Amino acid sequence: SLATFSLRGERLRRRVERTERVAMSFMDAREHGSKIGGAGVASAQHEAIDRRERLRRLALETIDLAKDPYFMRNHLGSYECKLCLTIHGNEGNYLAHTQGKRHQQNLAKRAAREAAENPSALPAAKKARPAPRKTVKIGRPGYRVTKQFDHDTRQRSLLFQVDYPEIEDGCKPRHRFMSSYEQKVEAWDKKYQYVMFAAEPYEVISFKVPNAEVDKRGDDKYFSHWEPGKKVYTLQVYFKNGPAPSRADGAGPVGGGTGGYAVLASNLPPPPPPGALPPQFAPPPV
């Protein structure tokens, strides 16, 4: 019948169309180098769109707009780039612009112009950093530590005397206080701090002292002195009055009769026998 003939013709037409589509897909895949049934290779326009989107997401995670000197929001609610004089609808669009070629070129031009106008102001990253000295260490210096007590102010103090007989010519010893959290030799303990002494070509030595506030109100309490003739570096430290640290086992303050201000030298050899001390540096009577 006519209806049956029309139905067969429609089926034949659809089969031919499917065959043509498969053939065209195979030809496109063979021409562009992709698999049959795949989406094909993205065009240059789609690659640029995908690149801008990836740069926008990366900028959203790493860039803080509050610190961008060229970012500005106008009265219309849109965003402007004061360097390139461009307008953007949202923050993501602005961040994608900052990663683009135009913005980067303008940044380079401005940096070149500022360098030409003020050649003395070099960036901090380009300044030459002094190379660390590489000297052969000859060992640890000798030292003497005296615990003192002032009966008038009821303060306890420490007197450090470090011998540097082979110190380099023109070199002066230095000292500084270091927190327990700065060192990596012992376990952290907020009850203590370290006093470090350094001089070339000797190794750096440190002493573990209570983490009490140092009294610097007078020159007779906190001072350091270097004697070039005897090669002895002297440091006196007074601690402000406060509760003395106790032992972990509850047996009382560490350091015996000195009330807790014992000096522990970490990984240091035993000190040399003490020599004759000046009268003003003599330890208090027991």
- Please tell me the predicted confidence (pLDDT) of residue 221: 85
Look at residues 52, 60, 44, 66 and name the one whose alpha carbon lies nearest to residue 96: 52
Mean pLDDT of 271-279: 49
Answer yes or no: is pLDDT of 57 > 70: yes
**What integer is the mean pLDDT of 1-18?**
59
Asked if pLDDT for residue 9 goes beyond 90, the answer is no
The angle, 0 to 180 degrees and rounded to 10, between the axes of the packed helices 44-62 and 91-98 is: 100
Res 265: pLDDT: 43
Query: So what's the pLDDT on residue 150?
Result: 87
139-167: average pLDDT? 90
Other beta carbons within 10 Å of 171? 14
pLDDT at 176 over 60: yes
In the prediction, which pLDDT does 268 show?
A: 47
**Mean of per-residue pLDDT scores for the chain:** 75
Q: Give which of 224, 218, 212, 190 is closest to 262, Cα–Cα.
A: 212
Count other C-beta atoms under 10 Å from residue 221's C-beta.
Answer: 18
Tell me what the mean pLDDT of segment 169-190 comes to.
Answer: 87
What predicted TM-score, i.e. pTM, was given to this entire model?
A: 0.42
pLDDT of residue 226: 92
Q: At residue 122, does pLDDT exceed 60?
A: no
Neighbour count for residue 161 (Cβ, 10 Å): 22
For the residues 260-272, what does the mean pLDDT come to? 46
> What's the whole-number mean pLDDT along residues 257-270?
43
**Residue with more model confidence, 105 or 184:** 105
- Among 147, 141, 142, which Cα is nearest to 263's? 147
List helix spans (H) across the chain: 2-32, 44-62, 91-98, 101-117
**pLDDT, tens digit, 9 for 90 and up, residues 27-55:** 555 555 555 555 556 677 888 788 777 77
Nearest to 158 by CA among 249, 73, 285, 283: 283
The model's confidence at residue 128, banded by pLDDT at 50, 70 and 90, is low
Q: What is the mean pLDDT of residues 241-250?
A: 50
Of 158-172, 206-220, 225-239, the poorest mean pLDDT is in: 206-220
Q: What is the mean pLDDT of residues 241-270?
A: 44
- Helices and strands in the chain, H and E counts: 4, 11
Q: How far apart are CA 132 and CA 116, in angstroms?
A: 32
Identify the pLDDT of residue 107: 92
112 has a pLDDT exceeding 60 = yes
- C-alpha span between 179 and 186 (Å, rounded): 12
- What pLDDT digit, counting tens, does each position of 198-217 carry? 998 899 999 999 988 888 88
* 160, pLDDT greater than 80: yes
Cis bond before residue 274 (omega within 30° of 0): no
